[in-house]
Amino acid sequence: MTPTEPDGDGAARNTTAGDAVLRPVHEQNAFEETVNRLLQTIRLGLVAPGDALPPERDLAARLAVSRDTVRDAIKELGTAGYLVSRRGRYGGTFVCDPLPDRAHGVAGSDDPARLRASPAEIDDVLGLRSILEVGAARSAASRALTAAERDLLWSSLTDTRAVTGDEYRRLDSRLHLVIGELTGSPSLLPLLAENRMRVNLLLDDIPLLDRNIRHSDEQHEAIVIAILTGDADGAARAMAEHLAGSAALLRGFLG
């Protein structure tokens, strides 16, 4: 079998690189990492524009996720303009030709000022975010919060779960900044705010994915409950898992 020989379902597959990319994902962020792996497959040319992805059952087995997770990832990447599904005898899931314009974000913005970040810039933003926000979650959970602080944290979580679209990202930012505020360290807030602005510039260049929002809501709740119950290790762990999911999507779409 040659490295790019089609598999039994007609989808082109580079056996060495394909196996390296389409490997089992981490269970905590299965959807986000599945999106990332599929994007890597497309970006690396392992499945060329116009060619078919392997079938869902094959992808699910290779990524060690459910077929529902694969189906959701394909649906969201279809909405974002990367994949298209076709029915019939020669149907399947195909890579769009042409692909979305990466230079101006997945939405195809024609604003020349919105050039995509380099991989090094993305790593810098996300690395600093992890340092700041995992530490903030641990610190907030280690403090004896006042009733007003506890109410503020819970209401910020509730507000985030009640909205979608652009409002979601605004209230998501507010929730993360509230967690920083609850550390009791005024010097931390400007650092968190500046980093969050940089994160939001990256987020603005990727689509809002419904499955990711639902997963983020669950992770937000785990973080908040850990803080409210004084579980510092649990808060740090939940925040790290949450940030890893966001990082997987950002590196997938923009990396």
Q: Rounded to whole angstroms, how far apart are CA atoms 140 and 192?
A: 14
Quick one: pLDDT band at residue 88, thresholds 50, 70, 90? confident
Mean pLDDT in residue range 122-129? 96
Instruction: Show Cβ contacts of residue 205 under 8 Å, excluding neighbours closer than 6 positions.
Output: 105, 106, 107, 109, 114, 116, 253, 254
Distances (CA, A) of 238 to 28, 41, 219: 10, 28, 7
CB 104 within 8 A of CB 111: yes
Top-tier CATH class for 15-99 = mainly alpha
- Give CATH 1.10.10.10 domain extents, the chain: 15-99
Q: What mean pLDDT comes out for the span 221-247?
A: 98
Q: Do the Cβ atoms of 33 and 43 come closer than 8 Å?
A: no
Q: What are phi and psi of 175, to 5 degrees?
A: -60, -45
pLDDT of residue 18: 67
SS3 101: coil
Give the pTM: 0.78
**pLDDT of res. 251:** 93
Q: Would you state the pLDDT for residue 6?
A: 40
* Percentage of the chain lying above the pLDDT 90 cut: 64
* pLDDT for 17: 59
Residue range(s) occupied by CATH 1.20.120.530 in the chain: 119-254
What's the average model confidence in pLDDT over 195-207? 90
The Cα 49–Cα 47 span in angstroms is 7
* pLDDT tens, residue by residue, 237-254: 999 999 999 999 999 999
CA angle 240, 245, 248 (to 5 degrees): 120
Q: What is the Cα–Cα distance from 197 to 109, expressed in whole angstroms?
A: 19
Domain 119-254 has CATH 1.20.120.530: yes
pLDDT in tens, 2-30: 334 344 444 444 445 566 678 899 888 99
Residues 235, 140 contacting (CB under 8 angstroms) = yes
pLDDT in tens, 31-41: 999 999 999 88
Cα–Cα distance, 30 to 6 (Å, whole number): 27
